[in-house]
Structure 1
Amino acid sequence: MATWQAFSYLPPINSTNLTTTTSTSTTTITTDFPFPTPGNDLCANADGDVHEGGSASPNHINFSFGAENSTCLTGECIRLAANYLNNMNRDASPCEDFYEFACGKYATRRVIAEHEKKVTVLSEMKRELDRHLKDILEKTPRENATRSMKLAQIYFDSCMDEFAQDDLGVQPLMSLISNLGGWPLLTNARFDSIDFQWEVLAGHLALYGIDGIFRVFVHSSFDDSNKHVLMFSPPKLFLEKKKFYREVPSSNVYLQYYRQYILSLLSLLGVDMEDETGVIEYQVDDIIDFERRIANLTRIELSRNHSSINNMISFGDFKKKYDKINWDAFFNEEMRSNLGRMPDSLLINVVDINYFDNLYSLIKSKPLSSINNFLMWCLVSNYDFYLPAKFRKPMLEFRQKMYGVSSDDPLWEVCVGEVRDNLAMPLSTEYAHKFFTKREKGVAEDMIRDLKKAMEHTLLNADWIDESTREAALMKLDAMGHKIGFPDSLLNETAVLLPYAGVRLTANQFFDNAISLKKAAYRDSLSKLHRTPSVIDWASPIIAVDAFHYFTGNEIIFPAGILQFPMFVPDAPSFANYGAIGMGIGHEITHGYDDLGAQYDEKGNLRGWWHTETMTTFQKKKQCFVAQYGSKVEPHTGRKVDGKMTIGENIADNGGLRVAFQAYQLKLDREKETRRLPGLTEFSPNQLFFLAYANTWCEALKPSAIDHIMDTDVHSLGMFRVNVPLQNLPAFSKEFDCPIGSPMNPQTSALNANEKLVACCAQDPQIDKGCASKYCNFGQITQFMVLPFIADSKHDHTECCTNQNVLPLCRAFCNASKAVPTDMLKYGLCTSEFDKYRLCFRTHLKHHEAIRH
């Protein structure tokens, strides 16, 4: 599931995210690349043009709307204008740092609460949404509430009742542990292995929503989106990412934090930490070692090749291949009754073959007592949250060390979140009734049509895509579905109650209520194995501030939760909506063609539909993004962005912005933008589009949390989500009259011809002759950029040419005594490595008259 940091794809494994030339009257689509390539030294400019620009001063931007325009003074317009103005730093230049210009005052006006890692526009939207949900839970009259709503209210009340939780103490957890066979570590009792089967315990834990040693769940099939399939995968890791487990515990600060958390919680649960310290610490270290070995077995964490996680095998063959594991013991009666028929011919998906190939060796290397300790710890670490507040203190201390939060979330926010996570459908129904209208849905529908039309133009004009791939891409766009707001099925109380069949919640029993709901969720998931995926399946995220792309459904989803101020303001001028939620729509559409979406066809099935050469070109463009974002430095920590981890979201950000801007131009073709915002009349509609875009990603970060955010979030930080896509969009520099070479318009006219050359020639290592005749004038490029530099004997090139960081091929160019071989020249200029070679020459480029003139 995508996080609340909006605009992501929804991962295929769910645990239950272009250039336009414009005028006010016409729009000409002249796109070279549907997925924009960065317009700096790393890659070609997507337009093939560089805006010459001027010198823009933030205090002297004056673009008149014309006499026929009026200032919008509705409540929504005033609120929107105030939002932009309060965030804006007018002392900053939009051509130097547009994020600072648009969002420079945002952080100074926010206080990051002790329990938060950051404050963002999206987190503020979530807080507002949570207040609405709290009011629904507290103020909906019980006597008039539906049965499903009463369940939500009972669960909320039991979560809020800390006195009842204190009265129960640790007893509910101890009862659960006892029912599962007990945990000798808690009482320092002797472990009896005679009747212990770890598979039996793992199967029972699965019913409580706990992964244990592996996950078994139902998901839509990668091969046929009209079917569900049973999937086997590695478990979720407590520390989230495999990278946190790599170093040995003695030198791994994250594992040390984890160890202290375990010891502190065990102490609160009554473990004798004085007389048995050594024994307990040994067992805790063993638990961590087992989990660390599990982490090191996994290979799919960053896999962006979904064919590698689509490993279909019959259930019978699976059991034979991994016959050392007692699968009949794992699949207990309750699991089988919900899964239905499970013949040996049933096809299942083993997501990580390597993990299961090596799993039994890991299990065999440990005594049964170690496996029991690990599984029981999985239970305790998943359910300590539902104990009285004092038992949550070790987790708070862990969070303090990991990312600097110094208090728990306010109780009401915690409890709203619990209802959202476990009873989403009834809460969604009430929210949709109260806060989402047909008017809002209509405005969003119109925008989606414009965004899809803009993407269609993009695909039609992409000259690097072969015709068969273009036809398939257009077919996928035409078939791409969209859902807005909430499904009509939420209006059916019977359908809303279906996932909670048999659930009985009791006031003052928070722990037991949580168990009932988690078991119901897992039962409901298993019961879908033989059912066709249903539209009601998308209901759960509608009260999330997020948007989704379902690869296996080829559809984009914009829940009611994201369609609120300031992301979506239905009656505001169009620039506000197209720049904010419009970019989000474009972002989700682009996900259908990013490096993951490109693997799924128009039916949402995992299938290769790209021509080999076109895919090769795309992969090179993708590497441009990896390199561009990977060169960006977060100023507080000095860390560079992880260009690989964030690649999918970065592609979607760049594509989404471009397509949204095109769609806005289409909107202006139909109806001129006549309304202005108070206090912002000096800005043109196009400039306000970019201002709306930037305001989506304003944020204030807690310094102690930045490392953790950059380690775990697949989205780039806000400053990079704003500035990098704008640097890659020449229309932005044109609108703000940013001079060439300014930070927001980094292209230079001297390099532009070569950037065209690299982009063109990269399509084919042998250099397509048609392309070469258009751009690849090697003699001219060489004479202009390379040979004069080499031939110039007046200057010492030693520093550049002997630099050990310069590739050998680059040093070959520096050998003035020899002619540069044509093949070497072609190789150097027509590969994605050329940016490295150019760095060699750019060191002294500005000092050479032959280059300068």
Structure 2
Amino acid sequence: MDIDSIEKGTMKLQQVMSDLGYWTVSPPPVNFSTWDANSWSLQDSLVKTHRLFATTFNDDDDDDDDDDDDDDDDDGDDDDDDDDDDDDDDEDYNDDENQTDAYRDGDNMCSQAGLTLGSKYAYGDDSDKKKEGYLAFATKVGVLLGGSESDVRMKMEDVYEFERNISKIYVGNQDELQRNNKYNISDFQKLLGSVVNISDFLQNIYKGRQFDDSTEINVATPAYFSSLGEVVNSADNETVANYMMWNFLQGLISYLPEAYNRARLELDKVLYGKTSLPERWKHCLSSAEGAVGYAGSALFVENYFPPAAKHKVSTMLENIRVEFISLLDEVEWLDEVTRSLLKDKARAMTMQIGYPDWLLEVDKVDQRYDQLEVRHGELFDNLLRSREFEMNRIIDEFDKKPDPNNWIELPHVVNAFYHPYYNLILMPAGILQPPFFSPHYPDALMYGKMGAGLGHELTHGFDNRGRLFDKHGCLGEQWTPAVAESFQKATVCMVDQYTAFSTRGEQLDGNQTLSENIADNGGLKLAYRAFRANGKPSASRLPGLNFTDSQLFFLGFSQVWCSVMTPEAELHLIRTAYMALLKVVAVVVVVVVVVAAAVVRGEGRGVL
């Protein structure tokens, strides 16, 4: 690794801070004596930082619909277990004129953002330890930038209080209808007040694009934005300016010398129970992947994901889709109108498996990065150039019909999700690896491990959130009133079941995790049905492991979700995450109860 280049990052950072022109916490690059609070402009500062991918006050890349299967090191979580043609799917998916509007609804979204601690709940009554972790982190960074410890802490206490006030106007859990609020720019400006000029902000961010008062934006959290001006105006300009720089700085810590990353560890200890930094090379690799992601994905796929694996997963997912459509005929509370809508949506669902076919063509991969300049020994400059490159791509694609060659997630990433605005299931090659998947697994294990995951994502299209989108990704109530009411009543049992669980002295919130719980239970059921209908019996048994295929199926499901988590990370997820921590326990309890009840009724065989 080029450690010298990393060490140069502080000097370049100070130059960038000087260009941005506000920061009074430490002397360089701008002394408080030369900083004029009266001439400082919130508007200009927002534009400058957002063009460098800050998320101060607002995030216009709303990710709340993504699944929680993403592997996030910050959670202190260590996993124990270290034929549909894609081109045809993409063509079918983009064939409808309504698609442009459906994409636009999901992509042009403004949502609350800008909290160091990540969640409004982290600033609550029990936040003393978190506050100390926050201030320890911020103070060390300020001192590393040349400030005195006492001055830095005093000013960062003001910034913390400002963030705490922002957390008070944060909106809690919402369903999709609550998050879909169309505003034209004129009405959004009235909602927001005079704190920021929206038209000017958008014109400067998306240079070359024209906006007028009739341009529509989906405002996910209008209550937040209606109160934001009052919070900002209640603070002095110096505190707001320091907050904005602090928000910007946090996204750069990983690119700075190790001392800055050790400062961050002060907060991560409190939030997630982390006690050590990851090896530096891992972040370097991650940074390179972030800058030239498709190039990294091409290398990964070439070495770790053969075409035969892609075909096998596609076949398994198609079998699961067939079972879902068949299962709809068994649901007594569905009327024929709604049943038909659900079948149409399932058939229209796009499946992106493994990687796009063009990824194997070297010239096409190289072409994507023709305009990106990378220089040896200039880590921080390369970071800034890659951010500028990405921003230019976003600007170029703004308000256009999406290119099916651009996947929502890079193929090498360990993630999986259903996207309701796209009616799309994405299973990148990164997650289609052991322990989740191997083409050499017996079918019983493969369906129990990966099949349950595929069924999970498909079920998301019809859970309490996904059901509100039609087959084109357009949002609105799709079901007849009687069916919608029956569905709502059916979810009460699942909410109660999960709320009855507790861990670390904390009760789970069945409402908060309902979407994931429906997907977990539905996905397992679909995978088991698909396995029973299509899976090949295991040819042999290992000595001492004389399990039936059904037992192997459930063992596979259980083992793949084994994990080790710090108590701090566990509590953090209980309070903030959409997925239930006791994933395996809760789902298997449902299976046992359902099967036991069926046996009592004399219906034990094939009840799932």
* TM-score bin, normalised by smaller chain: 0.7 to 0.9
Q: In 1, Cα distance between the equivalents of 2:248 and 2:103? A: 34
Q: Is the 8 A contact 1:403 1:705 kept in 2?
A: yes
2:221 to 331, 352, 365: 352
Aligned to 1:272: 148
Aligned residues: 564
1:574 corresponding residue in structure 2: 443
Kindly state the Cα deviation for residue 280 of structure 1 after the two structures are TM-superposed: 3.8
Q: Give runs of aligned pairs for residues 180-579 of structure 1, distance below 5 A.
A: 180-187=20-27, 189-190=32-33, 191-217=35-61, 224-227=101-104, 230-247=108-125, 252-273=128-149, 277=150, 279-299=151-171, 301-303=172-174, 305-319=175-189, 321-327=191-197, 331=201, 335-337=205-207, 340-491=209-360, 496=365, 500=369, 502-538=371-407, 540-579=409-448
Using the TM superposition, give the Cα deviation of residue 335 of structure 1 relative to its aligned residue in structure 2, in angstroms: 2.2
Within 1, Cα distance between the matches of 2:120 and 2:580?
A: 20
Choose the corresponding residue for 2:588, options 712, 726, 734.
726
Q: Could you tell me how far 1:592 is from its partner in structure 2?
A: 0.7
Superposition deviation, residue 613 in structure 1: 2.0
Deviates more, 1:511-520 or 1:648-657: 511-520
Taking structure 1 as reference, are residues 329 and 658 closer, same or farther at Cα in structure 2, changes over 3 Å only?
closer
Aligned: 1:170 with 2:10? yes
SS class of match (2:102): coil
SS at structure 2 position matched to 1:556:
strand
Residues of 1 paired with 2:278 and 2:258: CA distance?
12
* CA deviation profile, 1:779-818 (whole Å, cap 9, x unmatched): xxxxxxxxxxxxxxxxxxxxxxxxxxxxxxxxxxxxxxxx
Question: Secondary structure of 1:700's match?
Answer: strand
Q: Distance in 2 between matches of 1:571 and 1:280?
A: 57
1:383-431 deviation digits (Å, cap 9, x = unpaired): 2221111121111122123222211001122222222333211111221
In structure 1, what residue type is equivalent to 2:183?
I
Kept in 1, the 8 Å contact 2:323–2:526? The answer is: yes
Structure 1 pair 611–406 and aligned structure 2 pair: CA distance change class (3 A) = same
Amino acid at match of 1:254: K
Q: Within 5 Å, give how 1:99-138 maps onto structure 2.
A: none
Aligned to 1:538, what secondary structure does the other structure show?
Answer: coil
Q: For 1:467 and 1:747, how far apart are their aligned partners in 2?
A: 27
Whether the 8 Å contact between 1:543 and 1:559 is mirrored in structure 2 is yes
Deviation at 1:566, TM superposition (A): 2.6
* Offset at residue 531 of structure 1 (A): 1.1
Q: CA deviation at 1:205?
A: 0.1
Picking from 692, 695, 698, the partner of 2:559 is 695
* Deviation, structure 1 residue 517: 1.6
Aligned to 1:629: 498
1:588 Cα shift? 0.7
Distance 1:699 1:520 in 2: 37
Name the residue aligned to 1:130.
none
Alpha-carbon distance between aligned partners in 2 of 1:458 and 1:680, rounded to the nearest angstrom: 36
Q: Measure how far apart 1:332 and its partner are.
A: 7.3
Contact 1:203-1:331 within 8 A present in 2 as well? yes
Paired AA for residue 288 in structure 1: Y
Distance 1:683 1:701 in 2: 29
Matched, 1:656 2:523: yes
1:464 positional shift: 1.4
- Report the Cα distance in structure 2 between the residues aligned to 1:581 and 1:533, rounded to whole angstroms: 28
Distance 1:731 1:212, change over 3 A: closer
Task: Tell me how far apart the structure 2 counterparts of residues 452 and 316 of structure 1 sit (CA, whole Å).
Answer: 44
Q: How does 1:670-689 map to 2 (within 5 A)?
A: 673-679=537-543, 682-689=546-553
Aligned-pair CA distance for 1:658: 0.6
Q: 1:622 to 1:666 in 2, by over 3 A?
A: same
Residue 643 (structure 1) aligns with: 510
Q: What displacement does 1:217 show?
A: 4.7
**Residues 651 and 498 (structure 1 numbering): CA distance in 2 closer, same or farther, change over 3 Å?**
farther
- Secondary structure at 1:617 match in 2: helix
C-alpha deviation, 1:746, in angstroms:
8.5
Shift of residue 447 of structure 1?
Answer: 0.9
Instruction: State the distance in 1 between where 2:539 and 2:407 align.
Output: 36
Distance 1:404 1:481 in 2: 39
C-alpha distance 226-462 of structure 1, shift in aligned 2 (>3 A): same
Is contact 1:487–1:539 with CA below 8 Å preserved after alignment?
no
**1:161 alignment counterpart:** 2
1:602 is aligned to 2:471: yes
* Structure 1 range deviating more: 221-230 or 372-381: 221-230
Q: Secondary structure at the match of 2:110?
A: strand
SS in 2 for 1:549: strand
Q: Deviations over 1:256-308 (max 9, x none)?
A: 211221112111211022xxx2x543321211111111121121x421x2122
Deviation at 1:499, TM superposition (A): 6.0
> Please, what TM-score do these two structures have when normalized by structure 1?
0.62
TM-score, normalisation: structure 2: 0.86
In structure 2, relative to structure 1, the CA distance for the partners of 1:169 and 1:426 (3 Å cut) is closer
Q: In the TM superposition, what is the alpha-carbon distance from 1:713 to its structure 2 partner?
A: 3.5
- 2:206 aligns to what SS in structure 1? helix
Query: Is contact 2:142-2:152 (8 Å) kept?
Result: no
Task: Please state how far the C-alpha of 1:331 moved relative to its aligned partner.
Answer: 2.6
Give structure 2 stretches of 5+ with no counterpart: 66-97, 603-608
Cα RMSD over matched residues? 2.7
Following superposition, the deviation at residue 230 of structure 1 comes to 2.9
Write out per-residue CA displacement over residues 168-190 of structure 1, whole angstroms, 9 at most, x where no aligned residue. Answer: 25211110010111423312523
Whole-angstrom CA distance in 1 between matches of 2:132 and 2:62: 35
Report the CA distance between 1:473 and its aligned residue. Answer: 0.8
Cα distance in structure 2, aligned partners of 1:328 and 1:614: 41
1:698 is displaced (CA, Å) by 1.6
Separation (CA, whole Å) in 2 of partners of 1:406 and 1:651: 35
- Contact 1:646-1:716 within 8 A present in 2 as well: yes
SS in structure 1 opposite 2:505? coil
Identity of aligned residues (%): 26
8 Å contact kept, 1:690–1:732: no
Match of 1:715 in 2: 579
Is the contact between residue 490 and residue 536 of structure 1 (CA under 8 Å) also seen in structure 2?
Answer: no
Question: What is the CA distance between 1:609 and its match in structure 2?
Answer: 0.9
Unaligned runs of 5+ in 1: 1-159, 734-744, 754-853
For residues 653-686 of structure 1, give each alpha carbon's deviation from its aligned partner in whole angstroms, at most 9, with x where no partner exists.
Answer: 1001111111111115xxx515124235522111
C-alpha separation in 2, matches of 1:511 and 1:256:
30
Residue 102 of structure 2 aligns to which amino acid in structure 1?
A: S
Q: Deviations over 1:116-160 (max 9, x none)?
A: xxxxxxxxxxxxxxxxxxxxxxxxxxxxxxxxxxxxxxxxxxxx3
Matched-pair contact (CA < 8 Å) for 2:460–2:519: yes
- CA 1:703–1:367 in structure 2 vs 1: closer, same or farther (change >3 Å)? closer
- State the SS of the aligned residue for 2:506: coil
- The 5 A counterparts of 1:756-771 are none
Shift in alpha-carbon separation, 1:646–1:223, aligned structure 2, 3 A:
farther
In the TM superposition, residue 345 of structure 1 has moved relative to its aligned partner by 2.5
Contact 1:199–1:329 (8 Å) recurs in 2: no
CA contact (8 A) 1:200 1:329 kept: no
Distance (whole Å) between structure 2 residues aligned to residue 593 and residue 527 of structure 1: 33
Higher relative contact order (Cα pairs below 8 Å, separated by 6+ residues): 1
Relative to 1, partners in 2 of residues 1:405 and 1:217: Cα closer, same or farther, differing over 3 Å? closer
